[in-house]
Amino acid sequence: MQGLMQYHPLMISSVIEFAATYHGDTEVVSRRVEGDIHRSNYATINRRAKQIANALDAMGLAQSARVGTLAWNGYRHFELYYGVSGSGRVLHTLNPRLHPEQLAWIINHAEDEALCFDMTFLPLVKAVAAKLPTVKRFIALCDADKLPADSGIPNLQSYETWIGAHSDQYVWPAFDENLASSLCYTSGTTGNPKGVLYSHRSTMLHAMAGAATDVIGICSRDTVLPVVPMFHVNAWGLPYLMPMVGAKVVFPGGALDGKSIYELFEGEKVTFSAGVPTVWQMLLGHMEANNLKLSTMKRTVIGGSACPPAMLDAFREKYGVTVNHAWGMTEMSPIGTYGTLKGKHLEADWPTQRSILLKQGRAVFGVDMKIVDPNGGELARDGKVSGDLLVRGSWIVQEYFKGEGGNILDRDGYFATGDVATIDADGFMQITDRSKDVIKSGGEWISSIDVENIAMAHPAVAMAACIGIRHPKWDERPILVVVKKPNTEVTAHEIIQFYDGKIAKWQVPDDVQFVDAIPLGATGKMMKAKLRDMFKDYSLPA
């Protein structure tokens, strides 16, 4: 017997329509690339998204046609999220930090038919425009008077002229909720990047799961500043979640330095934020150097890379901000786990709570998660034994765009994340390494993350990466590559001494090498492969 309830497909457009109806005057504030602060609201965003939908219809773009964006977090990008997906096309968010060649490769692979870009990226678009045969129109996200006369880019139009020519009257269509809504390519640390093609259904379920109090849990009383870029896995779902709950939005544009973020936090009374550790490092540095406090910020979620313990401590002790750790990946929309305490932990002392909060978190409802041995056998959830982390669920990839990489699921539909983790009896997962970054010394694994976290607590260390170096006896031994904080001095010996009593002696790095910079990937993650390459001729001290 079938249930007798109504069926309505889960449509992304329903979110902005809802926000416009019930939270129409709630503000959407943006720091524009022009440098000024722009104020809009959900009602206006919805109207302008409808203008986009009409403009795409006028271009004759078919259902599921891809529209690329090269843009920071801002109101125009937000409008594109809804105008493009809501009208049945696919929003393809591109990472501007990629090399131009790689960017052109991705745009061509996706067969983008239009490309919308912030003026900051004009030189980048100029460099690749001639190599993009599928792109019929280039749209600069600016007013008509900001458009350069001789850009050299064919069919270039300003966004305001483009949408300004179209009505804001449009009825969002309903269609199969399994149709594609957006496309995001993986960081591509190995091989060519691969496309993850989200659907309306997966995106809506992911956002609804994120709304739970034990997960992101924002509400209409929050002011949210997503530092995580809208080109990195849909800013962790926040562009859908914020209007779903009617939260005030603050978009930082391209100014992600500590001073700019701090000004917006205080000026707009931000209560919740989200980002990768590298950005928080800059904010904490700025506040420390200028002896500043945070007056409205309550919570932040840190993910994308492991949150160093020193960062959690600084936020809590100096600024009264709760840090929740989250883990996920492009292939997971991205949220897989979120680190909030359970009721039974509330009575525990701070060191116990801290150790729980430093884990990557518990599986969010909707994500099945397990760890397995090399033969696929499930391992114990004892918080000690670590294994390959597998996931499945309604917002987890089934196959890559255009079938790249073939079948990526096991017999039971699980996807191998490439992360190595433990899961404890309460379900808290802790990443111990990326499978390819783990260091194997004498048959034992050394977690590069543990080694890095300790170094990050040293007052002179700005950034630290631990890599394995080939060793005749032990196979591999860890060394630490360090970027010093400005105007500080520290020796390799002092850093090695800093490990005393903190980890087992055999896990302590054999050497510390100082560098000016550690190569970062397009999403701010340390590129260990590149680093290993930089040190390929290095030999360990005798």
By the criterion CB under 6 A, which residues form the site for ligand AMP?
Answer: 186-187, 233, 303-306, 325-330, 334, 360, 417-419, 431, 434, 523
Instruction: Please tell me which residue in 440, 444, 488, 491 is annotated as part of the active site.
Output: 440
Cis omega (within 30 of 0) on the bond before 334? yes
120 included as an active-site residue: no
Residue closer to ligand AMP, measured from CB, 284 or 302:
302
Instruction: Please tell me which residue in 69, 331, 395, 417 is annotated as part of the active site.
Output: 331
Residue closer to ligand AMP, measured from CB, 358 or 495:
358
Q: Which two tokens stand for residue 343?
A: 């009721």
CB of 336 to ligand AMP, least distance (A): 8
Instruction: Please tell me which residue in 131, 136, 161, 445 is annotated as part of the active site.
Output: 445
- Exposed/middle/buried for residue 365 (C-beta within 10 Å: 0-12, 13-18, 19+): exposed
Instruction: Please tell me which residue in 44, 69, 186, 330 is annotated as part of the active site.
Output: 186
Q: Are strands 299-302 and 367-372 parallel, antiparallel or unpaired?
A: unpaired
CB of 521 to ligand AMP, least distance (A): 8
Q: List beta partners, residue 28.
A: 40, 249
Name every residue whose Cβ is closer than 8 Å to that of residue 209 and which is 6 or more positions away in sequence.
Answer: 215, 335, 364, 365, 366, 395
CB of 444 to ligand AMP, least distance (A): 21
Distance CA 542, CA 525 (A): 31
CB of 304 to ligand AMP, least distance (A): 5
The residue behind tokens 């986009």 is 52
113 included as an active-site residue: no
Instruction: List strand residue ranges (DSSP E) for 329-427, in order.
Output: 335-338, 361-363, 367-372, 387-393, 415-423
The candidate with the shortest Cα–Cα distance to 41, out of 31, 26, 30, 51, is 26
Residue closer to ligand AMP, measured from CB, 86 or 334:
334
Asked whether 453 and 307 are in contact (CB, 8 A), the reply is: no
Distance CA 326, CA 305 (A): 9
Asked whether 428 and 417 are in contact (CB, 8 A), the reply is: no
CB of 318 to ligand AMP, least distance (A): 22
Distance CA 299, CA 297 (A): 6
Residue closer to ligand AMP, measured from CB, 40 or 453:
453
Residue closer to ligand AMP, measured from CB, 26 or 447:
447
Residue closer to ligand AMP, measured from CB, 177 or 419:
419
Q: What is the dihedral of CA 181, 302, 229, 201, to 10 degrees?
A: 10
Residue closer to ligand AMP, measured from CB, 210 or 303:
303
Residue type, 250: V
CB of 372 to ligand AMP, least distance (A): 16
Name every residue whose Cβ is closer than 8 Å to that of residue 262 and which is 6 or more positions away in sequence.
Answer: 283, 286, 287, 292
186 included as an active-site residue: yes
| Residues belonging to the active site | 186, 331, 440, 445
